[in-house]
Structure 1
């Protein structure tokens, strides 16, 4: 795994946004989709902010860009599971629409707006079909990944997830839910955090990604950095270590997260 240490989260964002736009230009020239795997939450936000800024300065045609989200919370009710409204503060779908697609669209001239059809995520009715959908697009060109601070969850895959797991509905680990109290501070307590979610699988990430950028920053991610920097194979007790088994993987951290292996 290539490890890159940056001064701060903003420089991580600048570096990866520049890479994404360069690769998107190449995809545009070839007339093919460019699939960007995106988590929600704090870790990738510097990338999304930098994309907006760089696109405003030098617009790029985003009609071939496909935003592929990793996961979504599920609400439980008498009729089974349902998606939260995209307006909910914790909705991953809403996050993607506001913080990724919204930022890209706001930076571009009207004629270059990203079509809604290019925003995809797993579906409740057949979550496993997400893998086939991504494969049909040629795989994920660059998957931005993040590690849970307390238990190493990746997307909503809890500790103990099988190496070959595919996109599916999961029960969220309690530590994952506690981590997300910080990710979504409008939660008033653990009881408000949903207990289930849709997630791309561990095996899905490994088999469908052409390249991976794992992002960890801040003092709270020091254990995540240590676990990822020293991993030699997938460790189900820290699911984010699947990154080590992906193609063309890079670990991007800031100086606050870096620990000596």
Structure 2
């Protein structure tokens, strides 16, 4: 796994934006996997500006990593709403080209299977963007997740739920379950780009870089991928 250590979160966002725009220039019909959360917000602000600077996003297809179970697509706390506001709307990406699991499905397990099938029907993910959880999770794959897992319904760890409060409406209780791409699904992407910023991510980043490849730290499995890059700021990289 390639490691890049940059000065701060702004530089991480700039580097990731450059990688994504270069991938899009090389493949205008790019299938891009995206993440949510605070780490992604500076990156998405940069990508949003790219449309006004001439970048053509009309051929890009976007797949979200995950969604909360129980939240309808229009719910202000849903990941679909997050991605529409910060990415799809500013980039003028047609609604049918933004794919997010339906958290309000009456059968979340069946919705997970349908979502996996939609990824396959699109030809797979060309470039998958990932954030790093404090406990080493990627998407909603918590520690202990099978390394060959597919898109499925999962229960969320307390730390994941607490970290999610930042993007939820005030006083909303974080959902206890989500639909997530599995680790096996993620590893099938042709290229992976994992971002981590801030001192709270340093223990997980250290385990990802130097610990054993293990379900105890799901992000560590990215070291097995042939084209994975971990981009850290100095605070997340540690001493």
* 1:141 aligned partner: 126
Describe the SS at the equivalent of 1:144: strand
* Distance in 2 separating the partners of 1:18 and 1:102: 20
* Distance in 2 separating the partners of 1:122 and 1:166: 14
Gap regions ≥5 residues in structure 1? 76-82, 106-113
Deviation at 1:242, TM superposition (A): 2.6
1:1-261 alignment to 2 at 5 Å? Answer: 1-28=1-28, 33-57=29-53, 59-75=54-70, 83-88=71-76, 90-105=77-92, 114-123=93-102, 124=108, 125-149=110-134, 151-181=135-165, 183-184=166-167, 186-188=169-171, 192-207=173-188, 209-231=189-211, 233=213, 235-260=214-239
Residues 188, 126 of structure 1: CA spacing in aligned structure 2 closer, same or farther, 3 A cutoff? closer
Root mean square deviation, CA, Å: 1.8
Residues 85, 67 of structure 1: CA spacing in aligned structure 2 closer, same or farther, 3 A cutoff? closer
Moved more, 238-247 or 4-13: 238-247
Q: Which has the higher contact order (CA 8 A, sep 6+)?
A: 2
Deviation at 1:103, TM superposition (A): 2.5
Deviations 1:83-134 (Å, cap 9, x if unpaired)? 335242x3111101111112323xxxxxxxx211110123434312322322
CA contact (8 A) 2:51 2:90 kept: no
CA contact (8 A) 2:199 2:236 kept: yes
CA contact (8 A) 1:18 1:54 kept: no
* Distance in 2 separating the partners of 1:163 and 1:206: 9
* Distance in 2 separating the partners of 1:95 and 1:120: 13
Residues 94, 250 of structure 1: CA spacing in aligned structure 2 closer, same or farther, 3 A cutoff? same
* Distance in 2 separating the partners of 1:196 and 1:185: 15
**Please, what TM-score do these two structures have when normalized by structure 2?**
0.90
Describe the SS at the equivalent of 2:86: helix
Describe the SS at the equivalent of 2:187: helix
Matched positions, count: 233
Gap regions ≥5 residues in structure 2? 103-107
Deviations 1:208-255 (Å, cap 9, x if unpaired)? x1011110001111112111111452x111222232222310010011
* Distance in 2 separating the partners of 1:158 and 1:146: 13
Describe the SS at the equivalent of 1:127: helix
Deviations 1:23-58 (Å, cap 9, x if unpaired)? 212213xxxx2011111111122221111223322x
Deviation at 1:172, TM superposition (A): 1.3
Deviation at 1:185, TM superposition (A): 6.2
CA contact (8 A) 1:35 1:67 kept: yes
